[in-house]
C-alpha cells in the first residue's frame, strides 16, 4: 500500500482509567435514546465489542476535521496508567468510509454519489457508558488532571439520568420501503456478467459487486438502530448520528480486532438463506458446506486477509483455520474464518489500516485490481458501506466491523448496500437474489420491506 509512515502521537499527560458501577436497568437501546434526545453526536456499539455487551456515548471532546488524516488520528491516544480487562474508557469512535481506499492506493472512485456522507467521521470521547455481558452498566473515563472535575460532574449527571425511568415509548420510526428499480436490477445483472468476463480474461479472480436500495425517512440513525435492537442482536452493531448524516450498522462481520500485539480478522464469504423451519435450514447448511462456488470465494478472501495481515505481522505468525465455521445470522448462514497474527513491535494502528483497508471480503482478489473493477461496474459510489465502523482505545485497543448490513441516512434519504463475491461460475440472477436475501432481514429489523420492481430481467450471456 502507498502512504507515508507517520510516527504515532502519544498524547501527554497519560490518563488514568476510572470505572464506576451504575445503578441502571435500562437496555442499550434505551440508554442510547436517552442520550440522543439530550446531547450531541450520540453513538452506540452493541454485540461482541470489547468482549461483549455495549458501549454508548455522546458529547465528545473533539471531532476530526475533513482535512485530518483519519488513520493517523487512531494513533493519537493518551497512554493509560491501568486498565481493567474488558474496559473501554474512551478513545476515537466513528466510521472509515469505503472512499478512503483512495488514500492508501492509487485507485479510481465512482463519482456518482446520489447522497454523499463524509468520507470518515471520528470523534474523541474521554468517557463512555459500558454495559458488560453480565448486564452491569459502568461509567468509564480516561481521567487527566485538567478534566478531573468535569468528569466527576459528568459521572453524577449520567448516574442520575440512568437511575431514572427509561425514555417514553416512542412510535416506531417511519421508513419507506427500500426500493430497487428494474433498471438498477438489470444493471446489477449486467455488472455480474461483466465481472465474470473479466475473471475469464484473467484480470481478477474475484470482485465483490454491490447494488443499492433506496428509501426515505425522517428518523435519525439512532432511532433506526434502537428499533432494530428490539428485533435482532447483531454481532457488531453500531449507530452514529451526526449533523451531516448517520449510520445504523447491523453488521455480522469483524474486520479487525487488536489487543496488545495480537491481531485478528473474521472475513465472511459464503452465504445461503436460512429458513425458519429447522429441517430446511439444516439442508441449506449442508448445501452451503458442499458448495464449490462458495468455497472458492471463501478461500480466496482468507488468503487475501492472510497476506494483508502478513505485511504488518511477525514472520510466520499469521494463521488461519483449515476449514471455515458456519454461523447462523438473521435469515442467513455465513461461512466465517478467523485469521490471526502477532504484530511487529513498531507497527501502529495506522499501519495496520493502511495495510488492510478496505476489507478484503468486500473488495476482491487481487485487491487493487478489484477496486478498479468495482469503480467501473457499480452504478453508484459507495459511502460508508463496505468501509469500517468502530473504535480505537488506549484501554481496549482497536476494533472495527465491516460496514455491511448498514443503513446510511442523510437529507431525508436512507439507503442500504448489498452484494456478494463474484467468481468464475457465479450466476447473475442467483447473485441478485443473494443480495436481496441479505437486505431483507435488515429491512425487517427496522420495520420495513424490500421492494423490487419486477419485469423480464435478462442479461447477456457472460
d(CA 195, CA 188): 10
CA 184 vs. chain centroid, Å, equals 24
Best CA proximity match to 21, nearest among 84, 92, 91: 84
Query: Could you say which of 140, 186, 216, 269 is catalytic?
Result: 269
Q: Which three cell numbers stand for residue 265?
A: 480478522
Q: Which three cell numbers stand for residue 36?
A: 440522543
Q: Compute how many other C-beta atoms are within 10 angstroms of the C-beta atom of residue 366.
A: 16
Contact (Cβ atoms closer than 8 angstroms) between residue 11 and residue 78? yes
Q: Is 225 left (phi over 0), alpha (psi -120 to 50) or beta?
A: alpha
d(CA 305, CA 310): 8
Q: Compute how many other C-beta atoms are within 10 angstroms of the C-beta atom of residue 156.
A: 11
3 state SS of 169: coil
3 state SS of 133: coil
Contact (Cβ atoms closer than 8 angstroms) between residue 92 and residue 124? yes
Active site (annotated) includes residue 140: no
CA angle 65, 68, 69 (to 5 degrees): 145
CA 310 vs. chain centroid, Å, equals 22
Active site (annotated) includes residue 269: yes
Best CA proximity match to 24, nearest among 104, 107, 137: 137
d(CA 372, CA 159): 50
Q: Which three cell numbers stand for residue 29?
A: 437501546
d(CA 311, CA 316): 11
Q: Which three cell numbers stand for residue 232?
A: 435482532
d(CA 193, CA 343): 39
Q: Give the up-direction half-sphere exposure of residue 430: CA atoms within 13 A in the CB hemisphere.
A: 12
Query: Could you say which of 186, 253, 383, 408 is catalytic?
Result: 253
Let me know if 211 is exposed, middle or buried by CB neighbors in 10 A (0-12, 13-18, 19+): buried
Which residues are CB-neighbours of 47 under 8 A, at least 6 positions away? Answer: 54, 233, 234, 235, 236, 237
What sections of 164-277 are H helices per DSSP? 182-200, 221-229
Best CA proximity match to 96, nearest among 458, 439, 336, 352: 352
Active site positions, annotated: 253, 269
Amino acid at each position: 500500500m502507498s502512504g507515508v509512515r507517520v510516527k504515532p502521537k502519544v498524547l501527554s499527560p497519560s490518563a488514568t482509567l476510572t470505572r464506576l458501577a451504575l445503578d441502571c436497568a435500562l437496555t442499550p437501546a434505551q440508554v442510547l435514546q436517552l442520550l440522543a434526545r439530550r446531547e450531541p453526536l450520540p453513538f452506540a456499539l452493541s454485540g461482541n465489542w470489547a468482549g461483549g455487551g455495549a458501549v454508548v456515548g455522546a458529547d465528545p471532546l473533539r471531532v476530526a476535521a475533513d482535512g485530518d488524516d483519519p488513520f493517523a488520528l487512531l494513533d493519537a491516544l493518551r497512554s493509560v496508567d491501568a486498565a481493567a480487562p474488558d474496559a473501554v474508557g474512551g478513545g476515537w469512535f466513528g466510521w472509515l468510509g469505503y472512499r478512503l481506499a483512495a488514500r492508501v492506493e492509487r485507485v479510481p472512485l465512482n463519482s456518482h454519489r446520489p447522497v454523499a456522507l463524509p468520507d470518515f467521521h471520528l470523534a474523541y470521547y474521554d468517557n463512555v457508558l459500558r454495559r458488560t455481558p453480565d448486564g452491569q452498566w459502568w461509567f468509564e473515563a480516561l481521567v487527566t488532571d485538567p478534566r478531573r472535575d468535569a468528569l466527576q460532574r459528568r459521572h453524577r449527571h449520567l448516574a442520575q439520568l440512568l437511575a431514572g425511568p427509561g425514555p417514553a415509548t416512542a412510535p416506531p420510526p417511519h421508513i419507506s420501503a427500500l426500493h430497487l428499480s428494474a433498471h438498477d436490477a438489470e444493471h446489477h445483472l449486467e455488472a455480474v456478467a461483466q465481472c465474470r468476463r473479466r475473471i475469464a480474461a484473467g484480470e481478477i479472480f474475484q470482485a465483490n459487486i454491490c447494488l443499492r436500495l433506496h428509501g426515505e425517512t425522517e428518523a435519525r440513525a439512532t432511532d433506526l438502530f434502537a428499533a432494530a435492537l428490539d428485533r435482532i442482536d447483531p454481532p457488531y452493531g453500531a449507530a452514529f448520528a451526526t449533523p451531516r448524516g448517520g449510520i445504523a450498522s447491523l453488521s455480522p462481520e469483524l474486520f479487525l480486532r487488536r489487543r496488545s500485539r495480537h491481531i485478528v480478522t473474521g472475513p465472511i464469504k459464503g452465504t445461503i438463506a436460512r429458513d425458519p423451519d429447522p429441517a430446511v435450514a439444516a439442508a441449506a447448511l449442508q448445501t452451503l458446506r458442499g458448495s464449490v462456488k462458495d468455497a472458492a470465494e471463501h478461500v480466496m478472501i482468507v488468503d487475501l486477509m492472510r497476506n494483508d495481515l502478513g505485511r504488518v505481522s511477525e514472520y510466520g505468525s499469521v494463521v488461519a483455520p483449515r476449514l471455515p465455521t458456519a454461523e447462523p445470522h438473521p435469515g442467513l448462514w455465513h461461512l466465517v474464518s478467523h485469521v490471526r497474527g502477532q504484530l511487529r513491535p513498531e507497527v501502529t494502528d495506522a499501519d495496520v489500516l493502511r495495510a488492510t483497508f478496505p476489507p478484503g471480503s468486500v473488495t476482491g482478489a487481487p485487491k487493487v485490481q478489484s477496486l478498479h473493477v468495482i469503480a467501473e461496474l457499480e452504478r453508484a459510489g459507495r459511502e460508508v458501506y463496505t468501509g469500517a465502523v468502530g473504535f480505537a482505545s488506549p484501554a481496549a485497543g482497536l476494533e472495527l466491523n465491516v460496514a455491511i448490513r448498514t443503513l446510511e441516512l442523510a437529507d431525508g434519504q436512507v439507503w442500504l448496500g448489498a452484494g456478494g463475491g463474484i467468481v468464475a461460475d457465479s450466476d447473475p440472477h442467483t447473485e441478485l437474489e443473494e443480495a436481496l436475501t441479505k437486505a431483507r432481514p435488515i429491512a425487517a429489523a427496522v420495520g420495513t420491506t424490500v421492494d423490487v420492481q419486477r419485469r423480464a430481467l435478462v442479461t447477456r450471456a457472460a
